[in-house]
Amino acid sequence: MALANDTIVLEARLTEIPGKIPGNDLYNFVYVFKYKVLKVKSGKYNAKEILVGVYNPKIPRGQVKDKMAAYSKGNLRAFRANAKHELTLVPLESIWTEAVEDEYFDDDSPRFLAIEVKE
């Protein structure tokens, strides 16, 4: 688990859902979205955009039942472009080291894992 001082809480707008989110019937994965940072509520982050990975995003937050249930909290039912969310984030690789669906291969910005997403 990531250290508490690695955690960032942001208000952000989901600006882009790249491509089509695959189903998770074959394997579990983290899907990377792009967000515009509106406000940093806690932690340190100073860029205007952030790349955020979400574990199996087709499953509503709070309804994940496998080993990632503790890292998939919140009340968000579905990810939609232009929606505003409150995100609790940790560095992606501090928790997830398996399959990542990431269309931002030309962007070397750090990736974060959303461990909680609220509407």
The 10s digit of each residue's pLDDT in 41-52 is 999 999 999 999
Q: What percent of the chain has pLDDT over 90?
A: 88
pLDDT higher than threshold 50 for residue 2? no
SS (H, E, C) 3-61: CHHHCEEEEEEEEECCCCCCCCCCCCCEEEEEEEEEEEEECCCCCCEEEEEEECCCCCC
> What is the radius of gyration, based on Cα positions, of the chain?
13
What totals of helices (H) and strands (E) does the chain contain, helices first?
A: 0, 7
Q: What is the pTM of this model?
A: 0.93
Where does the pLDDT of residue 25 fall: very low under 50, low under 70, confident under 90, or very high at 90 and above?
confident
Domains of the chain: 4-118 (2.40.50)
